[in-house]
Each structure stands twice: as C-alpha cells, then as structure tokens.
Amino acid sequence: MSPRPSARTAPAAEFPQDNDPLRDPSLYLNRELSQLDFNFRVLERAQDASMPLLERLRYLCISCTNLDEFFEIRAATVRHSLDFGMPPAADGIPHPTLLKRIHERAAELVDAQYRCWNDVLRPALSDAGVRVLHRQHWTARQTRWLRAYFRDEILPVLSPLGLDPAHPFPKILNKSLNIVVVLKGKDAFGRAGHLAVVRAPRSLPRIIQLPEKISGGENDFVFLSAVLSAFVDELFPGMEVKGAYQFRVTRNSELIVDEEEVENLALALRDELVGRGYLRAMRLEIAADCPKPIVHTLLQNFDLPENAVYRINGPVNLNRAAQIYDMVPRPDLKFPAYQPRQLKDVDTIFEHAAAGDILMHHPFDAFTPVLELIKQAAEDPNVLAIKQTLYRAGKDSPIVEHLIDAARNGKDVTVVIELRARFDEEANLRLADRLQDAGVQVVYGVVGYKTHAKMLLIVRREGRKLVRYTHLGTGNYHAGTSRAYTDFGLITADPDIGSDVHQIFQQISGLAPAIKLKRILQSPFTLHAGVLKRIERETKLAQSGRPGRIIAKMNALNEPQVIRALYRASQAGVDIDLIVRGACTLRPGMPGVSERIRVRSIVGRFLEHSRVWWFGNDGEPELYCSSADWLERNLLRRVEVGFPIVAPDLAARVKEESLDNYLLDNLNAWELQADGTYRHLHPVGDALPHSAQAMLLARICG
C-alpha cells in the first residue's frame, strides 16, 4: 500500500492518553450521517417558496446528485471498512450498524425529494408555464410526436437483451438508465419471453423538449424514461409487454491504485478507469410499482441487501431535471443576474501586485485577474518560469491555453496535475497529455498524497533581480466554479511567500527534503500541527484569564485531534464559532465540554467553499486562508497549504466578509445542536433579516 502519514508519524501538538475522557465516542457525531443531513438542508432550499422557482428545481437536483456521490464514495467507504475489518471512526458506530442507519436516513431523504418534486415543484413549474408532462397526461398529438421521435431518434441506438440461459444478466453501468421488461409470448426463434433489459445509452438526451407547435407550450418536456416505458413494446414485435420498470444502480466509484507497485501512475489509472463503472453496487433505485419478484432478482444480481432498494415514485434519475434550468429562458424564475467586480488596471497585473497584495473574493470579485496573470506571464519576455498546480481545471480552460502559449514562447512551464482528482481523472489524463505535447513539464504529484493545494508561481526578471509573483487560493483554477463557489484568492509579490511556494514546488517535483517554511503552513508536515498549536495558544490565553477567540470557516470537520483541542479550548473558556458547510463530527453545546462552541452551516445561492481560520492571539490576530478542510485526509494525507493574509487591511476584509458577516446570517444559516440535528435560523424579535451572500452581492457587485 502507499505510505500514509498517521497520528503517530505526522507532527502533532498533543499526545493524549488512552483514558482521555474527550475520546468518549458519545462526544462525536458520525461523518456519513452528518453528510446526509447536509442534503436535507439543500433540499429545504428547494422547498422555500421565497426562492425563484427554477432555482428551487436546481437545489432539488443538487440534493439528488449529492446523494449519488454519497453512495459512490462515503457509503462505499463504509462498506470497504466493513469488508476489511477496519475499526470504526471516533463516534464508535460499528460499520454494520452505520450502513443500516445510512440506508434508513437516505430513504427518508429520497422520500422527501420525490414529495418535493411530485407535490410541490412539478405543479408549481406547470403553473408557471414550464411543464414536465406525465405520460398519463400526454395528448394524442403529443403521443404521436413522441412515438415518431422514439422511432427516429431512440430505437435505432437501443439493444434490448432478453434474459435466458444464453443471455445472462448484462453488465449495468453505474447510474445508467435502464428498463426491465416483463414479456409474454414467443419471439422469432420460438423462445418463450420472460424478462428483458433495455439499457439507455449515454448518448441519448435524458430530457426531451417538445416543439411548441406540437405541444402547445413553449417549455414542455418529458423524461427519456417515460418515453422508453411508453414505447418499449416496439422493441419486441409479436410479444406482449406485461410491464416495464425503470431502474438505476449506483456503484462504488473509488479508484484504488497501489502507487508504490506501479511504474506509471497514468497508465495504471487508465486501466482502473475502464472498469470504474462496474464496481460493487451500493444502491438500487427502481420504479415503485415493480413487482417484488423482479426486485428480488435485481437485488440478487447486484448482491445487495433488501434495505438497499429504493422504490421511486417518479424518474429514477431525477437529477437530470437540472437540464431544464438551462433549457428554459426565464430570468424571472432565476436569481437576478449580477456582474462581479473587475479589478482596475488588470492589464498591468505585475505592476499592480508589486505595489501591494491583491485579494479576490469570488464570485463577487471577478476571476479575471488570475486569468490575466497567467496570460500576461505567457506573453511577457521578462517572465522566465511558471509553476502551477491543477486539480480541476474544467473543460476548454483558458488557463490551459495560456500555459501552452507560455511553453511555446520559451518559458519554463511546470504543471502539477493531480490525476486522482475524483471524477476528473479522465479529464486530467487528457490534460496531462495535451500539456506534455506542447512542451510543458508535467508532474503527477507525490505518491500517496493527493496534491490539493492551489498554487501558482511566476518568476520574472526585473532589472538585476528575479521577483516571484504568487497566486494562492482556496478554490480550483476553474473559471466556471469561480462563478458558483465562494473562494478567496491572493496575488502577492511577498518574497517570503514566494520562497515558500518555490520550496513546495521543489518538494513536489524534485524530491526535495522538507524545509521549514517562513509563512505558509503545509500538509502533511506543518499544517496539522500548526492548527493544533494555534488552538492551544488560545486555550492558554483563556486559562491565564485573557480572552481566547477562534472563528473558523470550512467545508467539513472530522479530525479527532483538532476536535479534542477545540473541546479543551472550550473548557478553558475560549469562545469558538465554526462555520462548517457540510459534515461536522464535533458536538457543540455539551455542558462541561463544548458549551462555548457554536457551529452553523450556510446554504445559499453560491456553494460555500472558502476555508478561513482566525485566531485572536491576544490582540494580534492571525488569519489564514487554505485549500484544506479540518479533515483527516486534508491535514494528514494530502499536499495542502494554509497561507496567511499579511496585509492588515486585507486580513480585516477577509474576517469581516467571510466570518463576521456569516455569523450574522439569519436567513440561510442552520445551527447544529448537541444531538446532531440542525435548526434553521430566522430573524428573532427586532432583528433585521440578513443574508451574508446577498450583502456581499449588494456591496461588491452593486
């Protein structure tokens, strides 16, 4: 197996005894169940009548997509831990019990999703002129058009498979749409019909829009699954279709490559990707009216227990309704458009950065300065070298084009591509090939450690000296997500930060030894210990009678040593506010343990993605932004960075915009209770309603 740092080998600021009362499993929530609860908060946005209607549909689809990924990754990880006899997490829940609770809680979520779709959103959309037509309600004219569409566009690419001794159950691709058909009669060869499976190729559109002149509505749609079910009889001429039931199976999608045993990681990943869609099944979704014997047959085929079947009252791939959002030109049913703030003098980005640090708070600030920095570096004859990490770059990325131009212009360009970026492995393999073909030096990171840090380093000759310009961010180098995720980015000519980033690139690409950095905290070496050290400092301040204060914002929290340090800080009197978007295994508000800790989750228009940590430090506060969550994987098993915002005015801006502002939110905030439930906050008394994201849109974007 690949080497992994552990609590024993990674630097740490504590060595607690086994009898430490703060190790009591009852003090910890479960990460998987907490992650499921996050999707209930997303779904609540879909049920909020104050939200624009198509945005509510988008929230519903996000909750569905998130649940898919949950089964592909989190539930699959629990199953893997069970199979290999691994110990439970800090919460102490045995893996069999946890899997049972996962299926129970997921079933509640699925039921809520389809009630939201069938009883709330679908009727409301119809009233607004966006109709997703039930098969039972198709008019004769709609039916004729859809039958012709089926014959012309769908039937030619289908390959139905009858199930008999000569035709065993086919391989079913992860999350693909399928129809199981019950047949009666005999086919052309005299074979008695029983069951058949019709697989819908990925090339077919899952949402079909009917022409207005045929349907009568400008925005009328049907699901592909409804069309397949309606006309599946045409695939079996001479036989009677007794029933047709859509189903979908979700599989484990974690790729396992023993990096120490392979000679070429890229080739090994390509081999693994071939079979990814057919790994172990984790969940079966099937039409609610499917007979029990057929369900039993499918469960046996996929080696799934009874509680892994989800009977669906609607399309099994409901998340595909997200396509309607882009297909319907109705601004009145969407959030108002906005224009991110543009940086002045962006065409002279190097002079701008040399005069002072540039801070960007996306999506309120435009991503343009990052693109311009790379573009101008590619064209500037004084730029000698460019080094960059790419985790997720997106399709048709302008950054990639600029890097290729830089290489063709004679710059020394090095790109660290993380091939193991989940679900982007194939895209990153193609990207690596393209960059290498253009003369870029491509590095695949470090064996055993995903390179998740977001770093860009540009070396520029200015007179007789070389100056390093650096960009560090909390989010990916992805122009698309910069419009949908909240993230911070810093462009700086600070020589200490430039030196630190240079050393990190040397470690990644040149097998250099770990060197003490001047300003940056780096995982897996100093980030974990640095966080613990700063929590301990606040603890000692409180113990000495001085104010201790911590405010931290992140996507997820589960690292046990950090949680125990926060518990001890609370016991000592430190006031702690945590803004944790998703899974949080810390229990706040427990008497004698965490009553001074408050945890809130924000679910708004944009996906909260920035990681910001503020420590009071007895009146001389420290503020760090980071690519890392306070998760075991980020702090101990990845290459991550935590970078300080040194300029006092910029640090004050980050704290005010991303911490103080979010602690005032009483519209999009949920507060975590000691029992693990979340309470949606609302304005109380004379308090004015406050949305943190809406405030930033109004202030920054105008």
Domains of the chain listed by start with CATH number: 111-333 (3.30.1840.10), 346-519 (3.30.870.10), 522-701 (3.30.870.10)
Dist CA 236 CA 180 (whole Å)? 13
Give me the pLDDT at residue 254, please. 76
Concatenated DSSP letters of 320-341: GGHHHHHH---GGGSPPP--PB
Give me the pLDDT at residue 393, please. 84
- Check whether 473 has a pLDDT greater than 60: yes
**In terms of DSSP bridges, do strands 607-608 and 485-492 run parallel, antiparallel, or are they unpaired?**
parallel
Split at pLDDT 50, 70, 90, the class of 167 is low
Mean pLDDT of 401-430: 88
Split at pLDDT 50, 70, 90, the class of 184 is confident
Mean pLDDT of 317-322: 96
Higher pLDDT, 445 or 73: 73
Give me the pLDDT at residue 339, please. 96
Taking Cα atoms as reference points, which of 416, 377, 484 lies closest to residue 641?
A: 416
* Integer-rounded Cα radius of gyration of the chain: 27
- Check whether 537 has a pLDDT greater than 80: yes
The neighbouring-strand residues paired with 640 are 523
Question: And the tokens for 226?
Answer: 């409804």
Split at pLDDT 50, 70, 90, the class of 494 is very high
Higher pLDDT, 258 or 171: 171
Split at pLDDT 50, 70, 90, the class of 266 is low
In one-letter notation, the amino acid at residue 150 is F
Taking Cα atoms as reference points, which of 148, 314, 139, 355 lies closest to residue 226?
A: 314
Q: Are 406 and 386 in contact (CB under 8 A)?
A: yes
Q: Are 247 and 178 in contact (CB under 8 A)?
A: yes
**In terms of DSSP bridges, do strands 454-462 and 465-473 run parallel, antiparallel, or are they unpaired?**
antiparallel
Q: Is 648 exposed, middle or buried (0-12, 13-18, 19+ CB in 10 A)?
A: exposed
Give me the pLDDT at residue 258, please. 54
Dist CA 636 CA 14 (whole Å)? 15
Taking Cα atoms as reference points, which of 641, 636, 389 lies closest to residue 524?
A: 636
Distance of CA 430 to the CA centre of its chain: 21
Give me the pLDDT at residue 191, please. 60
In one-letter notation, the amino acid at residue 527 is L
Higher pLDDT, 261 or 469: 469
Mean pLDDT of 216-234: 96
Q: Are 548 and 565 in contact (CB under 8 A)?
A: no
How does pLDDT run across 583-596, given as a tens digit for each residue?
999 999 999 999 99
Question: Where is 598: in which H helix or E strand?
Answer: strand 597-602
Catalytic residue, chosen from 362, 452, 471, 528, is 452
Mean pLDDT of 214-218: 93
Concatenated DSSP letters of 435-498: HHHTT-EEE--BTTBEE--EEEEEEEEETTEEEEEEEEESS-S-TTGGGTEEEEEEEE--HHHH
Q: Are 613 and 626 in contact (CB under 8 A)?
A: yes
Task: Indicate the pTM of the whole model.
Answer: 0.92
Sign of the Cα pseudo-torsion (502, 507, 513, 514, in order): positive
Mean pLDDT of 627-650: 96
Q: What are phi and psi of 163, to 5 degrees?
A: -100, 115
Dist CA 266 CA 449 (whole Å)? 15
- Check whether 62 has a pLDDT greater than 60: yes
Query: Catalytic residue at 452?
Result: yes
- Check whether 639 has a pLDDT greater than 90: yes
* Residue found by looking up tokens 């908060």 in the block: 41
For the chain, give the percent of residues with pLDDT over 70. Answer: 92
